[in-house]
Copies of this chain bind each other. A is one copy, B any other.
């Protein structure tokens, strides 16, 4: 059931050419590189990116590979190209910030604290609502999936990959119980992004809290069919996660600059 293609933390594929290979295919590497550059503000909205021929030559790749990378960025709303005008970075509100890749790029560089806050606010809005829906629609199989995930969470700490996977599984089970595709997709994106921040917190050894009781309360309310209770319990859970992350970010600021 584990999907080996997604969360690969770059095993040593031995960068194929001159060291410029961030993973996956060549065009993927280029897209990744440009995406990170844009997300980190190296290319600002309105600015022009060097012309195809020049840039492709500079990166030492063919024009077609470079163009395919640009298509990817275009598909995600980051840039737009027109003949004679070149390709320029679109204003931030045209970016598909909820695209999993874009989120990943956003968290590759130094994560913007305001953006993290935005994500948690969104999560604080969506997940309680989802929990309420789940309380109304869950069946026995859904509840079992949640229980299993919960059990895994108590076996492994959030410091381990297994623990984080269990956490994700718990939330995914709730989402699945809503019978709502849009919610599933959205929360999958947010969940992945939040996963980055969890890793982030973990890196700082700033996770003193035991997450089990909070999760347990959510489960109990859903199992009881108590929508309002599930919503409220989930609200508390997300709130505390935000507080923990904010604290971690604060510490980084203190250490860093």
Contacts and interface: CB of A to CB of B under 8 A. Distances in A.
How many monomers of this protein are in the complex? 2
A220 interface: no
A95 to B, nearest CB: 7
A130 interface: yes
Contacts of A92: 181
A245 B99 CA distance: 28
Interface in A59-87: 64, 67-68, 71-72, 74-77
A228 B98 CA distance: 27
A182 B67 contact: no
Contact-size category for A? 35 or more
A101 interface: yes
Interface stretch (A7-15, A116-124, A144-152): A116-124
The A interface is mostly helix, strand or loop, or mixed, namely helix
A74 B93 CA distance: 22
B183 A95 contact: no
A181 to B, nearest CB: 5
A121 B68 contact: no
B183 A118 contact: yes
Given A71-B27, A119-B182, A188 B125 contact: no
A180 interface: yes
Interface in A79-119: 92-93, 95-101, 114-115, 117-119
Nearest to A127: B125
Contacts of A101: 75
Given A72-B74, A98-B186, 7 more contacts: A64-B64, A68-B68, A96-B185, A97-B181, A114-B181, A122-B180, A122-B183
24 contacts: A27-B71, A64-B64, A71-B75, A77-B100, A93-B181, A93-B185, A96-B100, A98-B182, A98-B185, A98-B189, A99-B99, A114-B181, A115-B182, A117-B180, A118-B180, A118-B182, A121-B178, A122-B183, A122-B186, A124-B129, A125-B125, A125-B130, A126-B126, A186-B186
Interface of A: 27, 64, 67-68, 71-72, 74-77, 92-93, 95-101, 114-115, 117-119, 121-122, 124-126, 129-130, 133, 178, 180-186, 188-189
